Structure 1
Amino acid sequence: MTAQYSADFEKALQVGRPPNIRALFPNSKALIVSGKVVDRAMLAKGKAIAMAANGRNYFVIRGALMAAQRANCPLIIEIAKSEGGQKAYCAVNYWNMARIVDALCNELGITVPVAIHADHYGIKNDKDLNAAKVEIPTMFEAGITSIAIDASHLPDDQNLLANLAINPFIPSWAGLETEVGEIKGNTGLSTVDEAKFLIQGLNAHGIFPDWIALNNGTTHGLEASDAGIQVGLTAEIHKALEPYRVNGAQHGTSGNSSERLRAIANETATTKANVATALQMISWGLEVNDYGNAQLDADGNFIKKSDAGMSDELWAEMVAHAEGKGWKKGDYKNLNLPFENKLLAQPREIRERMAKGVEEFAYKMMTEVLNARDTAPYAIEAILSAGSYDVGAKGSRIDDPALWTEARIIERAKSIVGDKGAEGNFDD
Structure 2
Amino acid sequence: MTDGVSDFDKVIEIGRPPNIKKLFPNSKALIVSGKFIDRAMIAKGKAISMAANGRSNIIIRGALMAAQRANSAIMIEIAKSEGGASSYCAVNYWNIARQVDALCNELGITIPVAIHADHYGIKKEQDIVAAKIEIPTIFEAGMTSIAIDASHMPDDKNLLANIELNPFIPKWAGLETEVGEIKGKSGLSTVDEALFLIQGLNAHDIFPDWIALNNGTTHGIEASDQGIHVDLTLSIHEALAKYKISGAQHGTSGNSSDRLREIASKTRTTKANVATALQMISWGLEVNDYGNAILDSNGNFIKVKDEGVTEELWKQMVAYADSKEWKGGNYKSLNLAFENKILGQPKNIRDRMAKRVE
Match of 2:229 in 1: 230
Matched, 1:147 2:159: no
Matched, 1:76 2:63: no
Q: What is the DSSP-based 3-state SS (H/G/I as helix, E as strand, rest coil) of the residue aligned with 2:312?
A: helix
Give the aligned residue type for 1:120: H
Give the aligned residue type for 2:161: A
Match of 2:61 in 1: 62
Q: Point out which structure has higher relative CO (alpha carbons under 8 A, 6+ apart).
A: 1
Match of 1:86 in 2: 85
Cα contact 1:212–1:248 (8 A) shared by 2: yes
Give the aligned residue type for 1:16: G
Match of 1:122 in 2: 121
Cα contact 2:122–2:149 (8 A) shared by 1: yes
Cα contact 1:282–1:309 (8 A) shared by 2: yes
How far apart are 1:315 and its partner, in Å?
0.3
What pairs with 1:395-410 in structure 2 (closer than 5 Å)? Answer: none
How far apart are 1:296 and its partner, in Å?
0.6
What pairs with 1:5-404 in structure 2 (closer than 5 Å)? Answer: 7-182=6-181, 186-359=185-358
Q: How far apart are the structure 2 equivalents of 1:190 and 1:302? A: 33
Q: How far apart are the structure 1 equivalents of 2:301 and 2:312? A: 15
Map Cα deviations across residues 369-418 of structure 1 (whole Å, 9 max, x no partner). xxxxxxxxxxxxxxxxxxxxxxxxxxxxxxxxxxxxxxxxxxxxxxxxxx
Cα contact 1:72–1:112 (8 A) shared by 2: yes
* Structure 1: unaligned runs, 5 residues or longer: 360-428
Map Cα deviations across residues 197-231 of structure 1 (whole Å, 9 max, x no partner). 00000000001100000000001000122211000
Q: What is the DSSP-based 3-state SS (H/G/I as helix, E as strand, rest coil) of the residue aligned with 2:52?
A: strand
How far apart are 1:300 and its partner, in Å?
1.3
Q: How far apart are the structure 1 equivalents of 2:340 and 2:279? A: 15
Q: How far apart are the structure 2 equivalents of 1:206 and 1:184? A: 28
The change in CA–CA distance for 1:19 and 1:262 in structure 2 (over 3 A counts) is same
Structure 1 residue runs of 4+, over 2 Å off? 5-8, 183-186
Query: How many equivalent residue pairs?
Result: 355
Match of 1:372 in 2: none
Q: How far apart are the structure 1 equivalents of 2:183 and 2:251? A: 10
Q: How far apart are the structure 2 equivalents of 1:218 and 1:308? A: 29
Query: Normalized against structure 1, the TM-score is what?
Result: 0.82
Q: What is the DSSP-based 3-state SS (H/G/I as helix, E as strand, rest coil) of the residue aligned with 1:254?
A: coil
Give the aligned residue type for 1:188: G
- Calculate the aligned-residue CA RMSD, in Å: 1.2
Q: What is the DSSP-based 3-state SS (H/G/I as helix, E as strand, rest coil) of the residue aligned with 2:119?
A: strand
Tell me the percent identity: 75
Q: How far apart are the structure 1 equivalents of 2:194 and 2:183? A: 16
Map Cα deviations across residues 272-295 of structure 1 (whole Å, 9 max, x no partner). 000000000000000000011000
Query: Normalized against structure 2, the TM-score is what?
Result: 0.98
Map Cα deviations across residues 65-92 of structure 1 (whole Å, 9 max, x no partner). 0000001111100000000000010000
Match of 1:423 in 2: none
